[in-house]
Amino acid sequence: MASGTALIYDEEMTTHKLLWSDPVCDIEVPERLSTSYEQLKCYHLVERCVHVPAREGSEEEILLVHSSEHLEAAKSSQTMNEEELKRLSGNYDAFFFHPNTYRCARLAVGATLQLVDAVMSGKVCNGMALVRPPGHHSQRNTANGFCLFNNVAIAAEYAKLKYGLQRILIVDWDVHHGQGTQYIFEEDPSVLYFSWHRYEHQEFWPSLKESDYDAVGLGKGKGFNINLPWNKVGMGNSDYLAAFFHVLLPVAFEFDPELVLVSSGYDSGIGDPEGQMNATPEVFAHLTHFLMQLANGKLCVILEGGYHLKSLSESVCMTVKTLLGDPVPQITGEMAPCLSAIESIQNVRAAHKPYWKWLMYEVPPIKTAATTAWKGSAHLLPVPVHLVKEMDETEIKVLVSGFYADLVKEDKTLLSLGSMLAILDKILQKEVCNGIAESPAAAVSVAVALRHSVRFGFQRVLCVFVGDMQIIPNTEDGKILMIHICEKEQSGKASSKHYISLNWKEDAEGNDFFSAVLGFILPVAYSYQPNLTVIAVGPNRSLGIRGISLLFALLQGLSESRIFAVIEDTEINLMQSVAKALVGASMPHFGVYIPPTQEKVNRTKILRDQFQRNGQEQWSGSNENVLTGLGIVIRA
Ligand code: X5A
Ligand code: ZN
């Protein structure tokens, strides 16, 4: 196997510079190259690399990707005076010409191809090319975003042609979307393009719809374009690592590339004025290290962006050090990706599931979801809760009229279902673990939620109602077990195998409910083995906040902790406590245990008795005897 690391640097590429004032372009300075190279020298990395000279890319090579019109326009800049250069530059979105720009851009292309040749010929195992101008925004027919020719795209076409490669992976860790590269390979299944980028819901440059996660490629190229948009700034080491673990690496190993090219922008590193991200230079050592495990180590790293000179040059050094095989530095700090990152990762995974087997395994889900209807009061929640976008009005109407028309009579209820269903769907799809929805009519919301879950395929749903609600009889009999906790006996509703009415009014001190939870609810729930638990809190609840929190906390041991809370009471204290219990934060303190009154003990006993009789038929597919199986001895 080949060994050694190539380094390509040609001082001439520092001659391309901005000649007039332009606040958009003035960060793309020659010092980006020279400072990086100086830092490499400083760490004695240059002398450890194999020096490979740059060369000019030929016209033919440039035409592998670009139109002759584009090449001619660029060529024409060579002989222009400053005024003409300025005018020509004005034709493009964020590009500047200098009399030496064309020459530098050809050197940048040629340097990249030299690196590919050094790696493909086995002269070295891997390497890095420090080039300017960068390339990944450049399109077939136009320059933009400081890029004239698409160095990396040309390199991929060149490698296909010259070495007959059939699978090339391009990893674009620059903070901007390499839309140029995406367009060039959109329909090409032989080039897998991965890019993460600052996106902020299309607010950030280049602000394109097609930079989102749902742009997966076109035609034969479907599945071979992977966009991971960052919708928040401040992404750090753990977010980048999570992106590699849960998106890029599974797909990359399944793809099994013959060569890996990195569009290596360091504007995704800490301190960069463009990226506003937090990843430290060490993370690039890790990213490099992971990519070295592919394609037999054939890895070519080509510089793109990076505008904070210190951050840039340190990150370049980390990359080259790792290419040379040095130990990978430790990463310190927060190791959990942020909610926004997880959301992006889940979205892109979902978009690509049809194309990649290795995306099948489950990612640890987000703990708790609520809807954006909470935005105003979200800060009141004591814990990080993932906000879900509500379903829109027409969508709900179609859904409800199709399946739930008999349950939903009022328009205002109909609209409130938008947030309920959005959260429930996230739970059903296992994108989040649990969720909270507010509802002006809990009984209706729950009826819809239950039928929705059964329609989705859940076979055993446990539903605990708390409060005075007219419970809507469900038509999914056999797939739902209801436990109704209320103060008064519900008229005309006898307990049955699938409906249990538990009349319980918590004592003023509010902790005798423990005995009902431990003595009845939990044993029943455990014997039922639900695959989803819905807990609804309606008006006139007979339990206090502590009792309700207890239910949420203890029932999380069931249904893989999949719990959906529907709460009619909008009292913020209750919401806070439920949110706390759902994310697993501390429980309210329960105080001294007060035993239930004899009357309540008797009532529980009777219920258990009844229940045991009914339960003799057994739950479909669930455990042995309902209560005795748990070691509870019931005497007649
Ligand atoms: C290569 C690169 C950034 C262009 C930003 C234009 N380009 N606003 O990082
Ligand atoms: Zn960039």
Atom of ligand 1 nearest to the CA of 175: 9
Structure token pair of residue 137: 């925004």
Indicate whether residue 176 lines ligand 1 (CB < 6 A): yes
Atom of ligand 1 nearest to the CA of 93: 6
What residue owns the CA closest to ligand 1's atom 2?
Answer: 305
Candidates 98, 137, 197, 246; catalytic one? 137
What residue owns the CA closest to ligand 1's atom 7?
Answer: 145
Q: Assign domain 5-359 one CATH number from 3.40.800.20, 3.90.1110.10, 3.40.50.720, 1.10.10.10.
A: 3.40.800.20
Ligand nearest to the CA of 304: 1
CA of 224 to the centre of ligand 1 (A): 24
What residue owns the CA closest to ligand 1's atom 6?
Answer: 145
Ligand nearest to the CA of 303: 1
CA of 146 to the centre of ligand 1 (A): 6
Q: Which of 274, 308, 311, 315 to mutate to test the pocket of ligand 1 (most atoms within 8 A of CB)?
A: 274
CATH superfamily of 393-626: Histone deacetylase domain (3.40.800.20)
Residue 93 phi/psi, 5° resolution?
-85, 105
**Using CA atoms, how far apart are residues 149 and 89, in angstroms rounded to an integer?**
14
Indicate whether residue 146 lines ligand 1 (CB < 6 A): yes
Q: Which of 146, 195, 304 to mutate to test the pocket of ligand 1 (most atoms within 8 A of CB)?
A: 146
> According to CATH, where is 3.40.800.20 located in the chain?
5-359, 393-626
- Of the candidates 18, 90, 8, the residue with the CA atom closest to the CA atom of residue 57: 8
Instruction: Tell me what pLDDT residue 362 has.
Output: 66
Number of H helices, E strands in the chain: 21, 16
**Using CA atoms, how far apart are residues 126 and 321, in angstroms rounded to an integer?**
12
CA of 362 to the centre of ligand 2 (A): 31
CA of 132 to the centre of ligand 1 (A): 12
CA of 171 to the centre of ligand 2 (A): 13
Helix (H, G, I), strand (E, B), or coil: what is residue 457? coil
CA of 72 to the centre of ligand 1 (A): 23
**Using CA atoms, how far apart are residues 608 and 6, in angstroms rounded to an integer?**
76
What residue owns the CA closest to ligand 1's atom 9?
Answer: 305
Q: Evaluate the CA torsion angle 320, 325, 326, 328 in order and state its sign.
A: positive
Walk along the chain (636 residues) in steps of 10 and give the mean pLDDT of each run. 94 98 98 98 98 98 98 98 98 98 98 98 98 98 98 98 98 98 98 98 98 98 98 96 91 95 98 98 95 94 98 98 91 81 92 90 70 59 74 88 87 83 90 88 91 93 89 74 84 73 75 79 86 92 87 87 88 86 73 74 78 58 42 34
For 497, how many CA atoms within 13 A lie in the half-sphere containing its CB?
Answer: 12
What residue owns the CA closest to ligand 1's atom 1?
Answer: 305
**Using CA atoms, how far apart are residues 307 and 269, in angstroms rounded to an integer?**
9
Indicate whether residue 197 lines ligand 1 (CB < 6 A): no
Ligand nearest to the CA of 173: 2
Instruction: Tell me what pLDDT residue 630 has.
Output: 37
* Element housing 607 (H / E): helix 598-615
Ligand nearest to the CA of 93: 1
pTM listed for this prediction: 0.73
**Using CA atoms, how far apart are residues 176 and 86, in angstroms rounded to an integer?**
25
Contact 312, 139 (CB under 8 A): no
Indicate whether residue 265 lines ligand 1 (CB < 6 A): yes
Known active-site residue 137: yes
Contact 450, 476 (CB under 8 A): yes
Indicate whether residue 24 lines ligand 1 (CB < 6 A): yes
Q: What order of strands is seen across the sheet that includes strand 366-371?
A: 386-388, 366-371, 432-438, 563-567, 532-537, 461-466, 480-486, 499-503
Indicate whether residue 145 lines ligand 1 (CB < 6 A): yes
- Of the candidates 603, 610, 632, 598, the residue with the CA atom closest to the CA atom of residue 502: 603
Indicate whether residue 594 lines ligand 1 (CB < 6 A): no
CA distances from 212 to 7, 234, 346 (A): 34, 19, 13
Indicate whether residue 205 lines ligand 1 (CB < 6 A): yes
